[in-house]
């Protein structure tokens, strides 16, 4: 039972991190920069030198945003790893047992349930907050 609760807590915390970190904003920025790059390439009004400068600027922006996505993803993996590592201090839990449990059908169902419960609670909070 303890392993089930701990797995739900780990997934709940992971869902919180995914929700709090600005992934959607970054994806929107990358999409806008990509559209600007395509429009620049297709433009007949600009000379090649101007196109190169604009494309270099867009490419740099896409690289920076991609780096942010990689950093946030590593941050999430780091937090999840730390939560699995902390589990070894609780005798009935261990990182190996937690990983083994999380890949069973029960673990997968509990993980999905915890993830959806987090977003349902968040949606209800936003809807009914004072």
Average pLDDT of the chain to the nearest whole number: 87
Between 39 and 10, the more confident residue is 39
Distance from C-alpha of 32 to C-alpha of 1, rounded to nearest angstrom: 47
Domain that holds residue 17: 2-128
Polymer length of the chain? 130
Number of Cβ within a 10 Å radius of residue 49: 8
- Look up residue 91 and give its DSSP letter: T
- Contact (CB, 8 A) for 23 and 69: yes
pLDDT of residue 3: 78
Which phi-psi region, left, alpha or beta, contains residue 129 (left: φ > 0; alpha: ψ -120 to 50)? beta
Within 10 angstroms of residue 62's Cβ, the number of other Cβ atoms is 18
Q: What is the pTM of this model?
A: 0.74
117 versus 60: which is more confidently predicted? 60
Measured on CA atoms in the order 90, 92, 98, 102, is the torsion positive or negative? negative
pLDDT at position 61, please? 96
pLDDT tens digits, 72-114: 999 999 998 898 888 777 777 777 777 788 888 988 898 888 8
Q: Which of 3-12, 39-48, 101-110 has the lowest mean pLDDT?
A: 3-12
What pLDDT is stored for residue 83 in this prediction? 86
Q: What is the pLDDT of residue 130?
A: 53
- Which positions ≥6 away from 38 have C-beta within 8 Å? none
For range 11-27, the mean pLDDT: 88
**Is pLDDT of 36 > 90?**
yes
Give the C-alpha separation, 125 to 130, whole Å: 9
Rounded CA gap, 78 and 119, in Å?
22
From CA 110, how far away is CA 87, in angstroms rounded?
17
User: How many domains, in total, are found in the chain?
Assistant: 1
pLDDT of residue 59: 96
């Amino acid at each position: 039972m303890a392993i089930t609760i701990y797995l739900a807590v780990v997934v709940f915390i992971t869902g919180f991190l995914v929700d709090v970190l600005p992934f959607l904003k970054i994806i929107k920025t990358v999409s806008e920069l990509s559209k600007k790059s395509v429009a620049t390439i297709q433009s007949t009004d600009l000379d090649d030198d101007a196109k190169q400068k604009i494309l270099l600027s867009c490419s740099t922006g896409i690289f920076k945003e991609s780096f942010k996505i990689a950093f946030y993803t590593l941050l999430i993996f780091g937090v999840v790893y730390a939560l699995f590592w902390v589990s070894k201090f609780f005798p009935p839990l261990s990182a190996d047992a937690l990983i083994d449990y999380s890949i069973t059908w029960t673990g997968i169902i509990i993980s999905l349930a915890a993830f959806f419960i987090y977003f349902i609670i968040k949606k209800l909070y936003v809807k009914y907050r004072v």
